[in-house]
Homo-oligomer: A and B are copies of this chain.
Amino acid sequence: MNFFDVLDLLGTIAFATSGALTAINKKFDPFGVFIVAFVTALGGGTLRDVLIGRAPVGWMLETYYVYTILATVVITIIFRKQIKFLTKSMFLFDTIGLGIFTIIGTQLGVESHFNPIISIALGTMTAAFGGVIRDILCNQIPVIFRKEIYATAAIIGSITFLILNMFKLDININYAITTSIVIIIRLIAVRFHLSLPTFYTKN
């Protein structure tokens, strides 16, 4: 298990925790909490695998993901009151997850020889669509369609990864740089309340 596997696991735990907390707040039972935690963490990668025809999907073969999420859910339920005071650490984990998952998805697109724009789509999907499915299950409009810079950070990181990859930059250095870019953009966006404009106009 190398450095990036560790980060991948951290991202999974962070996303699962954020999903579990959302479900607890919606008064879901333990089964519901587990399912929401699961789709938040693995929903984006699962959708990606289905669309590119990678079946069985990843977590069916690498079952340690399932156990990781099970353990995360149990711990989140037990320490739910304390975790609420950990929102800063939670946010940091979620941001790390966003960075890591973006590059994992993009890299998979490159390896599979997809067109660059598809690789960017795969990276963004891996990182951001677990949250979309979580919101659909919780019957609310996906927050990333309206929130501060989130998917946008993923897209920029993904593009940067492709450009550096074109220049044959060492893959590990590329991983480190582009993951950091996603994380930094997201941190700056939240710190300064940056968000994309919307275009709604009354008549």
Contacts and interface: CB of A to CB of B under 8 A. Distances in A.
A81 interface: yes
Given A30-B197, A80-B201, A136 B138 contact: no
Interface string A174-203: 000000000000000000000111111101
* Interface residue range, chain A: 35 or more
Interface in A53-85: 53, 55-57, 60, 63, 66-67, 77, 80-81, 84
B142 A141 contact: no
Nearest to A143: B32
Interface in A99-135: 112, 114-115, 117-118, 121, 132
15 contacts: A24-B198, A24-B200, A26-B141, A27-B146, A28-B145, A31-B144, A31-B151, A31-B152, A51-B56, A63-B117, A80-B199, A80-B201, A132-B137, A136-B136, A137-B145
Interface of A: 23-33, 35-36, 46, 50-53, 55-57, 60, 63, 66-67, 77, 80-81, 84, 112, 114-115, 117-118, 121, 132, 136-142, 144-147, 151-152, 155, 195-201, 203
